[in-house]
Amino acid sequence: MSDHHLAMAADGGMDDLPRTLRRERDAREREAREREYQMSGSASLMASERETSAPPPFADDLQMSAVRRLEVPFVHLMLFFMKAVFAAIPALFILGVLLWLAGAGLQAFFPQLVKMKILISFPN
């Protein structure tokens, strides 16, 4: 038998870690290099780092923005909420049917459940 063995993931020999763990490991290594750069003050280390690493995808498209004010005419806002109310009616109907079916199913499978009726009567 030879002393050579196959590198396993736990040995750190193969790079078959999941992508998220590799990214996290790379980020930790990058932070350590940046800390080392800040401690040593040498610009050559960061220059070589910039040459070897690719820029993140879509880096040019990122822009900081903040919404400060949203102007919506009252009539448009009112119409939007009216549409939302009318759209909710079928959803409430479907929810009522589903709850009724669930209650009927529980009553069919568990007849011993207490069934309560509220009777309202008006005197003559």
What is the identity of the amino acid at 71?
E
Which pLDDT score, from 0 to 100, does residue 81 have?
Answer: 95
Strand, helix or coil for residue 97 = helix
Q: What pTM, to 2 d.p., does this model score? A: 0.35
**Pair of tokens at residue 93:** 């109907």
Which pLDDT score, from 0 to 100, does residue 17 have?
Answer: 66
Query: Per-residue pLDDT tens for 66-110?
Result: 888 889 999 999 999 999 999 999 999 999 999 999 988 988 888
Region 15-33: what's the mean pLDDT? 80
